[in-house]
Amino acid sequence: MKLLSKITSKYQITIPKEIRESLHLVESDLVQWKIDKNGIHLESIQKPFLKHKGTLDIKSKDVKADIRKAWEIQSKRKSK
């Protein structure tokens, strides 16, 4: 698939909808450009806290305990 973007007078471009949706980009997200021998690559810079989505008990009132619990769950996932 080939997608086009036009460079504006301020050297800005619009990221095509298909790419935004594929990378789950929203307004104010950061992207990273990489240049190598194979070409230019655009990557989403993931928000690190989103990897913990769903691990906290949203009804809990003890935020510190929730954060500790999330870290434990995440470390168990990584050790497998």
User: Using 50, 70 and 90 to split pLDDT, how confident is the model at 76?
Assistant: confident
CATH number of 1-46: 2.10.260.10
Model confidence at 11, pLDDT cuts 50, 70, 90, reads very high
Quick one: tokens of 4? 């086009």
Q: What is the pTM of this model?
A: 0.50
Q: Whole-angstrom Cα distance, residue 48 to residue 51?
A: 6
- Residue 44 phi/psi, 5-degree rounding, is -75, 140
Instruction: For 6-63, give the DSSP string.
Output: ---TTS--PPPHHHHHHHT--TT--EEEEEETTEEEEEE---GGGGGTT-S-TT-S-H
- 18 neighbors 28 (Cβ within 8 angstroms): no
pLDDT tens-digit series, residues 41-75: 888 887 666 555 665 556 667 778 877 887 887 77
Q: Tell me the domain boundaries of the chain.
A: 1-46, 48-79
